[in-house]
Amino acid sequence: MCHALEHGGPDDEGIYSDENSGLVFGHRRLSIIDLSKNGHQPMSDVQNKVWITFNGEIYNYLDLKEKLVSLGARFNSNTDTEVIIQAYLHWGMSSFSKLRGIFAFGLYDTEKKRTYLVRDSSGVKPLYYHIEDTELSFASEVRALKKAGIATEADKSWQVRFLAYGHIPEPYTTQKDVFSLPKGEFLCWDHKKDTFEIHSYHVANSPAKIYDVLEARELIRTGLTRAVERQLVADAPIGVFLSGGTDSSIITLLANQHQLAQLKTISIFFNEKAYDERMYQNLVLEEIKGEKYAHLVRQEDFEEFLPQIIGDMDMPTTDGINTWFISRFAHQDGLKAVLSGVGADELFGGYPSFSRIKFLKKLRQFPPVSFSAARLFSSDKYRKISFLTYNHPIADYLLLRGHYSPTDIADILNMDLGEVEDILFNNKSISRIKNYNEEDAAWLELNLYMQNQLLRDTDVMGMSHGLEVRVPFLDEDFKAIAERISIDIRFDENQPKKLLIDSFNNLLPRAVWDRSKMGFTFPLQQWMREHHEINDESSYHGKRARKIVKDFKKNTMHWSKVFALYQIQRYV
Amino acid sequence: MSKKIILLTLQTFSTTGGIQKMTRTMAHSLDIISKQQQWDFKLWSLYDSRYDLMSEYLAKENFVGFGRSKMRLALDTISKGRKADILILSHINLALIGIIVKILNPKCKIWLVAHGIEVWRPLSFLKTSFLKKFCNQIICVSNFTKHQMIKWHNVGSSKCVVLNNVIDPFIIHPEEFEKPEYLLNRYSLTAENQVIFTLTRLASSEQYKGYELVIKAISHLKEKFSGLKYILAGQYDATEETRIKDLISSYNVKNEVILTGFLSERELADYFLLADLFVLPSKKEGFGIVFIEALSCGLPVICGNADGSVDAIRNGELGTAINVNDQDELEKTISSYLRSPLTVKTRQKLQKQCLQYFNENDYQQNLLRLIKDEPAA
């Protein structure tokens, strides 16, 4: 398993085993804090009461360390790993909620004979587990469980989910009985009984809502500044991804204010004029000190690296190509960690779904059956309306964000429609949508799209280059502030992310935000249409699939749908 | 002889409340009985879709979710429903379907399940005619509901059968009674904090649950019992949230009262373990399934004395019923429970008694007897 994860942990390797409990921890290290041998993992306390294998970063480790020292804790290293151990020894399970950062760890308590698997509350770091009879296995990537021969059987439903979502949504994976641990939760395995429980470690509180716009702006400014500041902690070189959009520009400008050493920025540009963001990137770059790395990605690069990108995905996804390239450049430029702007669109309403959801509310007032004829539409765009025949929150999400409709999926995979519907909608874990307002849209975007697609892809693509991607907008405390803000001031009908932009209007050049949204976008429609394998309809199985590729070549189909098909073909 | 039984419900799986929980257990029991007897059983649910089924309760092929389509329900009633030997309506609002089936097939026996407030009041002409002329048997979830049926609707006593609700077959019955560490952490409590617990829907439209009395009681009891906490759990609407928060401030019990919002089923038993006493001084419980759930985890309960709750505590054998209009009595009763802290033995004993009275096995036998029309043992 360790070997399968070497790409994400090139710096060190370690194994701990306890035969009495039948337990083994393996670790591959990417060293960012305390680069010395002191950071070797799996790590234990001096008395070997607790062992840990930890992936990620604890940003408030110095604050916690100070508190622990005052309680009598002694430290042997400068790592954040040791802080988790001491926090657990002093505070037990309640230590988990004191951690601020991006993390996934396995911690073995040798006295209680319990293993805890714990995942950060924003779900940035992945943690996959597999339970069979009396055995628990876990890893940070699915392929490690696959390669170790622990979970070799494929989940029969993954293709259906993948074609509907464009990725495989949590908690599912490509492998049977391999699940992703929900964010903010922990799994406790009792070695004496071989039983387990999964619970949230969140500490309950219901803070007051913020109704005043000036107060909200002030809290956003101080909260995000603090989040950026604490995420710059590192003993290895750290940088910022700059796309040219609002969110990464804010992060870059804030990091520039705090960075003691000079800030390194990484950006990408293209020969394709419509995708060239250099003008906006330069507006921000002019404001900052430090080394600025701009890299050209050409169509040839895309063709050359596509097989490797697909190989690095761990699980199929229609996104992540952009992150793969920028992570590669960041790695080449000597960085081990970077800050990214992910999360702002979800928290402050940067997506079209925030306005579309109100329209959806109106449509939902009709009986579901009125939309069943929509599956007969020939235009792909309108066929998605058939999701309204399903009275289910997943159907709402898929209408806003989905790729293929159930009828299309049944056609492509040559399955019964009922079977496809059962796979997609037999999910009771989601029951949130009530009001069909911006808050519900934010919930769907944060918990489904960002969680399952953006964060997973970002982490896996970063780690494939030994690069940790940090996300200040998802700092626990900052996110809590954003979610306290009343929806009336948090979202604006006419201008996406108005509150966020207004909060930083002294910092942010107007031209960066006062334009149509671009996103971190590659010219993939063109590149894929001209890709000799992707556009070769004869290599696809089934009439429906070939028709989709033909439509794509006529430019009436989005690249991400064909890319999904292309990956399915490769797996089959 | 082969029988065809249909249990028709409004909503069984897509929301969770007392009626839904009771219906799940009834469906599960009927499914098991029917398998044993080689009968044909179907659960029809108007507002659930087929994806809502919780497959542990019954086999997929025995469940029909109409997904709000009243048209489909009407068509299925006429084509298939009329062929049933027994049609059980889980709610009086389904009376019209009962009438149609009875007209089409007079041999079909129509049963109604009577829960609580939905029948303790004057009903429309259609519903009363249904009760009098079309319905063969009324399953009342408590003696109180039976008396109400007779009082309000003048139905014959012989038409009403009392069949108390029972413990959901899939709820966990703890064997150890420690307070769960993860919940202590979640609410920043220690095992020394005494916890009073209420679980109910907190709806602005249902002002009879009586938790405001408990909030007031806490303001007096907090001085006597240091470290006392009150966990008020259940989904609330915005209006009720404001009202409760205002109450909490006006009684100055911000540090004592914890509002949790919706609780997930899988953590429910752990909340009963976290608590030392369950209190719901409600005025209008048909039966109060939550009381037996609490008892099945060994948690003592205080309930109201003027509704179906008294069946759930076996007229005082398992818990204490109080006059819900008497604030003083409520406070005294809570105090007396808190003064003698709960032991593991007490918990074990309560759990055992509760499971002995309210288990699904007996429920199945009772149902079987009713279907076969045999006299009670």
**In angstroms, rounded to a whole number, what is the distance separating the alpha carbons of residues A25 and A2?**
10
Task: Yes or no: say if A501 and A515 are a contact pair by the CB < 8 Å rule.
Answer: no
Decide if A311 is inside a domain: yes
Domain extent at residue A567: 353-437+526-571
Distance between CA atoms of B58 and B31, rounded to whole angstroms?
Answer: 6
Give dist(CA B172, CA B93) in Å, integer: 32
pLDDT for the residue numbered A396? 86
B96: left (phi over 0), alpha (psi -120 to 50) or beta: alpha
For residues B202 and B237, is the Cβ–Cβ distance under 8 A?
yes
Q: Residue B61: list chain A partners with CB under 8 A.
A: none
Q: For residue B182, give the nearest of A201, A367, A390 by CB distance.
A: A201
Strand partners, A197: A188
- Report how many domains make up chain A: 3
Residue A459: give its domain's CATH number: 3.40.50.620
Chain B positions with Cβ closer than 8 Å to A:
49, 51-52, 54, 67-69, 181-182, 185-188, 258-260, 267
Choose between A554 and A520: higher pLDDT.
Answer: A554
Other CB atoms within 10 A of residue A571 CB? 12
Q: List, in sequence order, the alpha helices (H) in A49-157.
A: 61-70, 80-91, 142-147
Let me know the angle formed at the C-alpha of A416 by A415 and A420, rounded to the nearest 5 degrees: 80
DSSP state of A261: S
Cα distance from B175 to chain A (closest Cα, Å)? 14
Give the pLDDT confidence of B92-129 residue by residue, as tens digits: 999 999 999 999 999 999 999 999 999 999 999 999 99
Q: How many angstroms separate the CA atoms of B173 and B352, rounded? A: 10
Shared domain check, A515 and A399: no
- The three-class DSSP label of residue A451 is helix
Give the residue from B20, B182, B195, B230 with the most A CB atoms within 10 Å of its CB, the best one to mutate.
B182
Instruction: Say yes or no for a CB contact (<8 Å) between A202 and B186.
Output: yes
Interchain CB contact of A392 with B (< 8 Å)? yes
Neighbouring CB atoms inside 10 A of A367's CB total 15
Q: Are residues A499 and A408 in the same domain?
A: no
Distance CA A73, CA B185 (A): 21
pLDDT of A520 reads 66
Same domain, A430 and A542: yes
Nearest to A489 by CA among A187, A232, A219, A260: A219
B68 and A93 within 8 Å at the Cβ level: the answer is no
Whether B286 and B117 have beta carbons less than 8 Å apart is answered as yes
A253 and A399 co-located in one domain = no
Q: Is the pLDDT of residue A59 over 70?
A: yes
DSSP conformation class of A104: E
* B4-166+359-371 and B181-357: identical CATH topology: yes
What is the 3-state composition of chain A as percent helix, strand, coil, each rounded to the nearest 5?
A: 45, 15, 40
Task: Name which of B138, B177, B139 is nearest B155 in CA terms.
Answer: B138
User: Which has the minimum average pLDDT: A93-107, A226-240, B89-103, B126-140?
Assistant: A226-240
SS3 annotation, A130-183? EEECCEEEEECCHHHHHHCCCCCCECCCHHHHHHHHCCCCCCCCCECCEEECCC
Tens-place pLDDT, residues A322-354: 999 999 999 999 999 999 999 999 999 888 888
> Encoding tokens for residue A527?
């590149």
pLDDT digits (tens, 9 = 90+) for A485-494: 998 999 998 8
A203 → closest Cβ in B51, B185, B267: B185
Pairwise CB contact (< 8 Å): B67 & A421:
no
Per-residue pLDDT tens digits for B190-244: 999 999 999 999 888 887 889 999 999 999 999 999 999 999 999 888 899 999 9
Domain of residue A191, CATH code: 3.60.20.10
Listed in sequence order, the residues at least 6 apart from B331 whose beta carbon sits closer than 8 Å to its beta carbon are B217, B220, B221
Shared domain for A396 and A505, answered yes or no, is no
CA atoms within 13 A on the CB side of A326: 28
Burial class (CB in 10 A: 0-12, 13-18, 19+), A365: exposed
What is the predicted pLDDT for the residue at A259? 63
- Helix ranges (H only) for A339-437 are 344-348, 353-363, 380-383, 393-401, 406-413, 417-425
- Name the residue in chain A with its Cα closest to that of B255: A205
Q: Which CATH architecture has domain B181-357?
A: 3-Layer(aba) Sandwich (3.40)
> Both A188 and A66 in a single domain?
yes
* Mean of per-residue pLDDT scores for chain B: 94
Complex-level ipTM: 0.83
Paired with B259 in beta bridges are B232
* Residue A454 per-residue DSSP state: I
Least CB–CB distance from B68: residue in A391, A425, A428:
A391
Contact B49 A390 (CB under 8 A): yes
Interface contact flag, A94 B267, Cβ < 8 Å: no
CA B182 to chain A, closest CA, distance in angstroms equals: 7
Residue in B89, B45, B88, B90 with CA at minimum distance from that of residue B68: B45
- The one-character DSSP state at A452 is I
Helix (H) or strand (E) holding A115: strand A114-119
Mean pLDDT value across chain A = 89
Q: For strands A195-200 and A43-44, give the pairing.
A: unpaired
Cα–Cα distance for residue pair A402/A405, rounded to 1 Å? 8
C-alpha distance from B236 to closest chain A C-alpha (Å)? 13
Same domain as A540, residue A499: no
The predicted structure's pLDDT at residue A431: 64
Q: Within this chain, do residues A537 and A518 fall inside the same structural domain, yes or no?
A: no
Q: How far apart are CA A214 and CA A435, in angstroms?
A: 27
CA distance B374 to chain A (A): 40
Per-residue pLDDT tens over the stretch A164-208: 999 999 999 999 999 999 999 999 999 999 999 999 999 887 778
On whether residue A175 sits in a domain, the answer given is no
pLDDT digits (tens, 9 = 90+) for A260-308: 667 899 999 898 888 888 888 888 888 888 888 999 999 999 999 999 9
Chain A nearest-CA residue for B186: A203
Residue A51 has pLDDT above 90, yes or no: yes
Chain B residue with minimum CA distance to A427: B51
Distance CA A500, CA A210 (A): 15
Q: CA-nearest residue of chain B to A428?
A: B52
| Assigned domain for A49 exists | yes
Better pLDDT: A13 or A65: A65
- Sort A195 into a burial class: Cβ within 10 Å, 0-12 / 13-18 / 19+: exposed
Residue A92 has, within 13 A of its CA and on its CB side, a CA count of 12
Tell me, yes or no, whether A287 and A259 share the same domain. Answer: yes
Mean pLDDT over residues A13-28, rounded? 86
Q: What is the pLDDT of residue A19?
A: 84
Best mutation target, A157, A199, A205, to test chain B (most B CBs within 10 A): A199
A427 neighbourhood in chain B, CB within 8 Å: 51
Q: Which residues of A are less than 8 Å from B188 in CB distance?
A: 203
Upper half-sphere CA count for residue B186 (Cβ side, 13 Å): 22
Of A188, A199, A426, nearest to B51 by CB-CB distance is: A426
| A156, part of any domain | no
CB contact under 8 A, B181 and A93: yes
Out of A201, A204, A367, closest to residue B68 by CB: A367
For A391, which of B67, B181, B185 is closest by C-beta distance? B67
Residue A94: list chain B partners with CB under 8 A. Answer: 185
Q: What is the pLDDT of residue A517?
A: 62
Q: What are the structure tokens assigned to A175, written together?
A: 């492998």
pLDDT of residue A223: 96
Same domain, A397 and A469: no
Q: How far is CA B84 from CA A137, A374, B93, in A?
A: 51, 36, 20
Q: Strand A114-119 and strand A101-109: pairing?
A: antiparallel
Distance CA B84, CA A570 (A): 52
A386 and A482 in a single domain? The answer is: no
Angle CA B364–B370–B372, to nearest 5: 100
Which residue of B51, B68, B258 is in closest CB contact with A425? Answer: B51
A192 touches A113 (CB < 8 A): yes
- CATH code of B4-166+359-371, in short, is 3.40.50.2000
Which A residues 354-373 touch B at CB under 8 Å?
367-369
In a domain, A58, yes or no: yes
Q: Where are the domains of chain B?
A: 4-166+359-371, 181-357
Does one domain contain both A285 and A433? no
Instruction: Give A244's pLDDT tier (boundaries 50, 70, 90).
Output: confident
Residue A201 forms contact with B (CB below 8 Å): yes
Give the other-Cβ count within 10 Å of A490's Cβ: 24
- Cα–Cα distance measured from residue B118 to residue B149, given in angstroms and rounded to the nearest whole number: 11
pLDDT at position A237: 84
In the block, which residue shows the tokens 């006006």?
A: B250
Considering the domain boundaries, does residue A534 fall inside one? yes
Interface with A, mutate which of B12, B47, B186 (most A CBs under 10 A): B186
What confidence tens digit (pLDDT) does each residue in A399-431 have? 888 899 999 999 999 999 989 998 998 776 666
Residue A407 belongs to a domain: yes
What strands lie across the sheet with B63-65, from one edge to the other?
B63-65, B40-45, B4-9, B86-89, B109-114, B137-140, B160-162
Beta bridge partners of B320: B302
CA distances from A292 to A249, A255, A269 (A): 14, 14, 13
CA distance B192 to chain A (A): 17
Chains A and B: how many Cβ contacts under 8 Å? 47
Q: Using a CB-CB distance cutoff of 8 angstroms, which residues of chain A are in contact with residue B52?
A: 428
Region A386-401: what's the mean pLDDT? 84
Q: Give the residue among A192, A204, A181, A231 at the shortest CA–CA distance from A94.
A: A204
Residues of chain B with pLDDT under 70: 1, 375-377
How many angstroms separate the CA of residue B186 from the nearest CA in chain A? 4
B49 contact residues in A (CB cutoff 8 A): 390-392, 425
pTM, entire model: 0.90
Mutate to test the interface with B, among A118, A366, A391 (most CBs of B within 10 A): A391
